[in-house]
Amino acid sequence: MKVGVPREVKSDEYRVAMMPVGAELLVKSGHEVFIESQAGVGSGFSDEDYVKAGAKVLSTHKAVFDAAEMIIKVKEPQPQEIGLFRPGQVLFTYFHFAADPTLTQSCLQSGITAIAYETIRDRAGRLPCLTPMSEIAGKMSIQEGAKYLEKPMMGRGILLGGVPGVAPAHVVVLGAGVVGTQAAKVAAGLGANVVLMDINLERLRYLDDVMPANVTTIFSDIHTIRENLILADLVIGAVLIPGAKAPRLVTRQHLTAMKNGSVIVDVAIDQGGCVETSRPTTHQQPTYVVEGVVHYCVTNMPGAVGRTSTIALCNATLPYALKIANHGFEKVAA
C-alpha cells in the first residue's frame, strides 16, 4: 500500500502522524511511505531521518495526497485539505465528527473511508488511540490552568498549591475518565484541594481508594455541580461520550456565581465543549473572558508538546496502520 503522511496545517500543531521507525516498519513490510517535507520538524524528526528509514520525501501537501492510498494524519482535516481527497482513499486520523457537521458532510460526499482514532475500541472496550492524548491533555490542563490563574493572565492571582499560612486553590474536575484522572493527580501533586466529579459510582469508588488525601470524589448532578463551581478557582472540563457531542454541564448562569478571575479549561472542546460559553481557541490566542471567568479552550492542547505527543500517539496508532496496510481496512474492521 502507498501510505502518505502530510505536514499538519492546523495552527500551532507540532505533531506528526508517523515517526521514522514507523516508516521503516511499513517499508520493511513491503509498503511505500511518502512524507511531506518538514512534516516531522516540530517533533524533532528531520527529512533525512525519514529518508534513512526508507520513506520518500515529497515537497507539497498535494503531492502526498495524490501519491497515497492511505493518508495518516493527526488532526481533523482542515478546509484547505478537503479538496485533496479522492474516492476510495483511506484517511486515518482524529476527526471529532460530532463537533463539526460541516466536516462530516464533506467527508461523506468525498467518498473516502474515514477511520477515526477517537472511536477505535480494543477488545476490552477501551479507546487505545485516544487515551495517550487524553493523558497529555489532562496533565496539561493543570499546567495551563495554573498559569492563567496568575494575575497578568487575568486570573485571580492564586498559586495552585498555596504556601504555609495561605490556602491552596480549589480545583473542580468534571469527569473522572482519563483526562480527569490525570488532571486530578497533577493538581493534587501540586498541593491543590481537588474535587473530582463523575456519574459513575464504581469509578468514583476506585479513585477514592487510589487518589491522595487532597482529592475528594463527588457524584455529579445539577446540584453538586453548581455547589462546587461556586467554590472553584480552576475548573477542568473533562467529560467524554465517545463519538458524541460533549454534554453541556456548565451554563452561563453558573458563571455569574463563580469567583471573578477563576479559570475554566474545557478539554472537551474537541467534542463541542462541556461549557455553554466555550468556543474553540488556539495556542496563539488561547483565552477569553466571559462573566469574569477566564476560558481556555484550545482544541489541540497536546500539539504544543509535539515531541512527547508524537511518540505517545504513534506508539498507539502504528499497530493499526500496519494492520490496515497489510490486510486492508475491511479485514481489520471485521
Domain CATH code at residue 42: 3.40.50.720
Q: Are residues 156 and 239 in the same domain?
A: yes
Q: Are residues 110 and 189 in the same domain?
A: no
Q: Are residues 272 and 328 in the same domain?
A: no
Q: Are residues 107 and 153 in the same domain?
A: no
pLDDT tens, residue order, the chain (334 aa): 999 999 999 999 999 999 999 999 999 999 999 999 999 999 999 999 999 999 999 999 999 999 999 999 999 999 999 999 999 999 999 998 988 999 999 999 999 999 999 999 999 999 999 999 999 999 999 999 999 999 999 999 999 999 999 999 999 999 999 999 999 999 999 999 999 999 999 999 999 999 999 999 999 999 999 999 999 999 999 999 888 899 999 999 999 999 999 999 999 999 999 999 999 999 999 999 999 999 999 999 999 999 999 999 999 999 999 999 999 988 777 6
Catalytic residue among 198, 233, 266, 270: 270
Q: Are residues 92 and 210 in the same domain?
A: no
Q: Amino acid identity of 159?
A: L
pTM: 0.94
Q: Are residues 150 and 274 in the same domain?
A: yes
pLDDT at 334: 62
Residue 263: inside a domain: yes
Q: Are residues 146 and 277 in the same domain?
A: yes
Whether 270 is catalytic? yes
Residue 125: inside a domain: no
Residue 44: inside a domain: yes
Residue 144: inside a domain: yes
Domain range for residue 275? Answer: 131-299
Residue 178: inside a domain: yes
CB 310 within 8 A of CB 13: no
Q: Are residues 31 and 58 in the same domain?
A: yes
Q: Are residues 98 and 135 in the same domain?
A: no
Catalytic residue among 31, 61, 96, 170: 96
CB 238 within 8 A of CB 268: yes
Residue 114: inside a domain: yes
Q: Are residues 201 and 94 in the same domain?
A: no
Of 307, 276, 334, 327, give the one whose Cα is nearest residue 70.
Answer: 327
The DSSP secondary structure of 108-173, one letter per residue, reads HHHT-EEEEGGG---TTS--TTTHHHHHHHHHHHHHHHHHHTSGGGTS----TT-BTTBPPPEEEE
CB 134 within 8 A of CB 182: yes
Total of domains in the chain = 2
Q: DSSP 3-state assignment of 218?
A: strand
Q: Are residues 9 and 24 in the same domain?
A: yes
pLDDT at 317: 98
Grid cell, residue 213, equals: 488525601
pLDDT at 282: 96
Whether 96 is catalytic? yes
Residue 191: inside a domain: yes
CA angle 309, 313, 315 (to 5 degrees): 120
Q: Are residues 44 and 100 in the same domain?
A: yes
